[in-house]
């Protein structure tokens, strides 16, 4: 069975409480955890769940910076204009960490285990330490089934040397450690199509900006096949476009361009105002937010040439989250709640245009659904 791979990247944790920044890093340790689950679906119905295990990114309170009137852990230079996207904040390695490894137990707490049991325990719990700010997620690819990635995100705190780890994204009335944590979902088909999908997730102690992207180390033949498919789809949708027709995808791959970079270049050939339109829509959505700098969208895009997705993540932080950064199903539920719509009424509205492809369109092209609504 073929194995699919995607990259989960944590870009920033923002609006953290002042108390977290004031913790003594010699005594207290913080960690962000992600718990991904793969959903296999057939025609909109779930047929199988595959938990991928927990991944943990430890960080120190001294890494939390006060920027633009808010406390932020900036892992991908989201708050630094025109900075290199290659620079990330390294997390603490489990081998060089001054404290022992931690493993989850029942009740949302975590107990310390002997070093001699680390290897066995790690295999049993599937708990991985995140190096840097990225996690490689691997799972079987099942033909005939669509795949959705559901992820829970939370923050924990523990006193170094203690036996108990506290999940601080849990409210006082919470029954489980998932209460107060953040959740998002993304369809793998959407990731394959867009190459990178950003999600903004709210926590009880702030928010997190993440993205799910294609794996840059995928087999070159697979990458080439996907890009040629992207090129053919764009040619079919935009008609005669000589610049796109002349684009040599194979040559660009040989020159060292990544799948994300080539796809982004292709998209701007087809729609040169794509990012300008996104920025202007975001500013119109939050007219009171953002500095005067954001009113000069064209100048900003020139300065962020070839790094437009990085600029959009910065905009999501400083202005507000794009509608597309919210998981499609959560967004649809919020839409139904706001306008007091039943599932049947939404289906009837969409069925006349999309037929029986409502579910597939929602997970792969959610903007089409919301434009129709």
Q: What is the pLDDT of residues 8-44, one digit of tens each?
A: 999 999 999 999 999 998 888 898 999 999 999 887 7
Distance between alpha carbon 230 and the CA centroid of its chain, in Å? 22
All residues at 6 or more sequence positions from 33 whose CB lies less than 8 Å from its CB, including other chains:
54, 55, 56, 57, 153, 154, 155, 156
Yes or no: say if 3 and 140 are a contact pair by the CB < 8 Å rule. yes
User: What Å distances lie between residue 188 and 213, 255, 262, 288, 298, CA to CA?
Assistant: 9, 27, 19, 35, 32
Q: Is residue 137 assigned to a domain?
A: yes
pLDDT below 50 — which residues of the chain? 82-125, 171-175, 177
Of 214, 234, 255, which residue is a domain's last?
A: 214
3-state secondary structure of 179: coil
Determine the structural domain holding residue 9 and report its residue range. Answer: 3-81+126-214
- Co-location of 199 and 346 in the same domain: no
Q: Is residue 16 assigned to a domain?
A: yes
Q: Is residue 64 assigned to a domain?
A: yes
Q: Is residue 151 assigned to a domain?
A: yes
- Co-location of 13 and 150 in the same domain: yes
Q: Is residue 33 assigned to a domain?
A: yes
The pTM of this model reads: 0.81
What pLDDT shows up at residue 283?
Answer: 93
Q: What is d(CA 279, CA 298) in angstroms, rounded to the nearest whole number?
A: 9
What pLDDT shows up at residue 81?
Answer: 52
- Co-location of 336 and 204 in the same domain: no
What pLDDT shows up at residue 86?
Answer: 39
- Co-location of 59 and 194 in the same domain: yes
Of 180, 214, 248, which residue is a domain's last?
A: 214
Q: Is residue 246 assigned to a domain?
A: no
What pLDDT shows up at residue 173?
Answer: 45
As for how many domains the chain has, the answer is 2
Q: What is d(CA 367, CA 325) in angstroms, rounded to the nearest whole number?
A: 11
- Co-location of 37 and 184 in the same domain: yes
Q: Is residue 226 assigned to a domain?
A: no
- Co-location of 39 and 170 in the same domain: yes
Of 214, 249, 280, which residue is a domain's last?
A: 214
User: Could you tell me the CATH number of the domain that includes residue 203?
Assistant: 2.60.40
What pLDDT shows up at residue 111?
Answer: 44
Q: Is residue 318 assigned to a domain?
A: no
User: What Å distances lie between residue 26 and 99, 110, 277, CA to CA?
Assistant: 11, 20, 47
């Amino acid at each position: 069975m073929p194995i699919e791979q995607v990259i989960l990247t944590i870009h920033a944790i923002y609006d953290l409480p002042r108390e977290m920044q004031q913790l003594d890093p010699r005594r207290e340790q913080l960690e962000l955890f992600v718990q991904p689950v793969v959903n296999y679906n057939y025609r909109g119905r779930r047929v199988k769940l595959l938990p991928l295990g927990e991944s943990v990114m430890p960080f120190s309170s001294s890494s939390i910076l006060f920027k633009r009137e808010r406390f932020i852990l900036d892992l991908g230079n989201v708050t630094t204009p025109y900075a290199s996207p290659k620079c990330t904040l390294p997390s603490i390695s489990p081998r060089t960490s001054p404290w022992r490894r931690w493993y989850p137990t029942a009740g949302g707490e975590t107990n310390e285990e002997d070093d001699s049991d680390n290897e066995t325990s790690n295999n049993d719990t599937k708990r991985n330490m995140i190096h840097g700010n990225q996690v490689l997620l691997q799972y079987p690819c099942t033909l005939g089934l669509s795949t959705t990635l559901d992820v829970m995100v939370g923050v924990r705190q523990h006193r170094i040397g203690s036996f108990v780890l506290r999940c601080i994204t849990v409210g006082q009335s919470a029954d489980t450690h998932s209460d107060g944590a953040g959740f998002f979902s993304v369809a793998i088909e959407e990731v394959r199509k867009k190459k990178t999908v950003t999600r903004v997730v709210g926590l009880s102690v702030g928010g997190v900006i993440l993205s799910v992207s294609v794996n840059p180390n995928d087999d070159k033949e697979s990458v080439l096949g996907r890009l040629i498919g992207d090129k053919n789809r764009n040619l079919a949708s935009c008609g005669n476009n000589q610049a796109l027709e002349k684009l040599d995808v194979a040559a660009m791959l040989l020159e060292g361009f990544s799948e994300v970079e080539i796809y982004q270049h292709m998209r701007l050939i087809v729609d040169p105002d794509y990012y300008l339109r996104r920025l202007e829509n975001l500013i119109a959505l939050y007219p009171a937010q953002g500095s005067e700098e954001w009113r000069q969208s064209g100048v900003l895009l020139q300065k962020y040439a070839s790094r437009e997705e990085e600029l959009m993540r910065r905009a999501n932080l400083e202005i507000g989250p794009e509608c597309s950064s919210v998981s499609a199903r959560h967004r649809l539920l919020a839409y139904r709640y706001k306008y007091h719509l039943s599932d049947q009424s939404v289906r009837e509205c969409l069925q006349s245009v999309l037929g029986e492809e409502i579910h597939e369109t929602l997970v792969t092209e959610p903007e089409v659904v919301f434009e129709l609504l």
